[in-house]
């Protein structure tokens, strides 16, 4: 069984109970350095603080000196640094929270990094509205009747088929990002089958 960790990114702090409970119940919170102030306000202890440390003030750097991990590489963002730190330390089941909100460009960038992360760890991203799950192979999803579901295909050549979604796909390409959005589950599960590059599946809570 893989070790689990929760990464807190430096977006909007979670407001929905599901991501909040993930934070409160985790013994291994890996905090992107800019998010530590929000974690402090919530009175939750980090397990590790990871990043380039450009937004960590001197007082907090001193307080958490024994769990701060500095990565100076400016070619990756702090979320990616946190993912690689988790992988290096054998945390292979990752839940990301706080990666959306505040800046829309950061949110889009973070969501579309998920397929890259999925190649090295099991990962999902919880927002205050739902969950993004990257998949690298065909997969069954637990669901409920009426759950809103969207499929994002970064590679427009990927062939996708679905089962138990209201708007079925059969060996179909999603050539525009909007084409797989606003679908709906027809029961307690649905299936996504595909050939090609990774997909990102969104499910509302």
For the stretch 110-156, pLDDT in tens is 999 999 999 999 999 999 999 999 999 999 999 999 999 999 999 99
Tokens of 68: 């701060």
Residue 86: pLDDT band (50, 70, 90) is very high
Question: Taken in order 29, 33, 36, 38, is the CA torsion positive or negative?
Answer: negative
CA 131 – CA 129 distance, rounded (Å): 7
Same-domain pairing of 124 and 148:
no
Residue 61: pLDDT band (50, 70, 90) is confident
Q: What angle do CA 99, 18, 186 make, to 5 degrees?
A: 100
State the pLDDT at residue 54. Answer: 74
Is the pLDDT assigned to residue 10 strictly greater than 70? yes
DSSP states of 91-127 as a string? EEEEEEES-SSS-HHHHHHHHTTHHHHHTTSEEEEE-
Residue at which a domain ends, from 94, 129, 164: 129
Same-domain pairing of 30 and 108:
yes
Same-domain pairing of 110 and 158:
no
Q: Which 8-state DSSP code applies to residue 129?
A: S
Same-domain pairing of 41 and 119:
yes
Is the pLDDT assigned to residue 76 strictly greater than 90? no
Residue at which a domain ends, from 129, 158, 178: 129
Count of domains observed in the chain: 2
Query: pLDDT tens digit string along 148-198?
Result: 999 999 999 999 999 999 999 999 999 999 999 999 999 999 999 999 899
CA 7 – CA 30 distance, rounded (Å): 5
Task: Tell me the average pLDDT across 57-68.
Answer: 86
**Parent domain of 13:** 3-129
Q: For the domain that residue 55 is a member of, what is the CATH number?
A: 3.40.50.10240
Same-domain pairing of 117 and 39:
yes
Same-domain pairing of 95 and 62:
yes
Strand, coil or helix: 45: coil
Residue at which a domain ends, from 105, 129, 153: 129
Same-domain pairing of 99 and 20:
yes
Query: pLDDT tens digit string along 11-31?
Result: 999 999 999 999 999 999 999
């Amino acid at each position: 069984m893989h070790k689990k960790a929760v990464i807190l990114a430096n977006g909007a702090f979670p407001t929905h109970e599901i991501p909040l409970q993930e934070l409160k119940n985790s013994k291994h919170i890996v905090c992107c350095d800019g998010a530590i102030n929000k974690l402090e306000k919530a009175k939750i202890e980090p397990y590790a603080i990871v990043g380039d440390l450009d937004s960590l003030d001197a007082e907090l750097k001193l307080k958490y000196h024994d769990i701060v991990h500095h990565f100076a590489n400016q070619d990756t963002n702090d979320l990616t640094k946190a993912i690689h730190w988790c992988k290096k330390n054998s945390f292979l089941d990752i839940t990301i929270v706080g990666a959306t909100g505040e800046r829309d460009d950061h949110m889009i960038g973070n969501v579309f990094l998920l397929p890259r992360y999925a190649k090295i760890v099991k990962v999902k991203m919880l927002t205050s509205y739902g969950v993004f799950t990257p998949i690298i192979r065909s997969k069954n999803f637990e669901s409920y009747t009426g759950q809103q579901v969207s499929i994002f295909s970064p590679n427009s050549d990927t062939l996708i088929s679905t089962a138990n979604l209201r708007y079925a796909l059969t060996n179909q390409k999603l050539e525009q990002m909007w084409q797989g959005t606003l679908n709906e589950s027809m029961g307690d599960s649905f299936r996504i089958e595909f050939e090609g590059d990774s997909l990102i599946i969104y499910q509302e809570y």
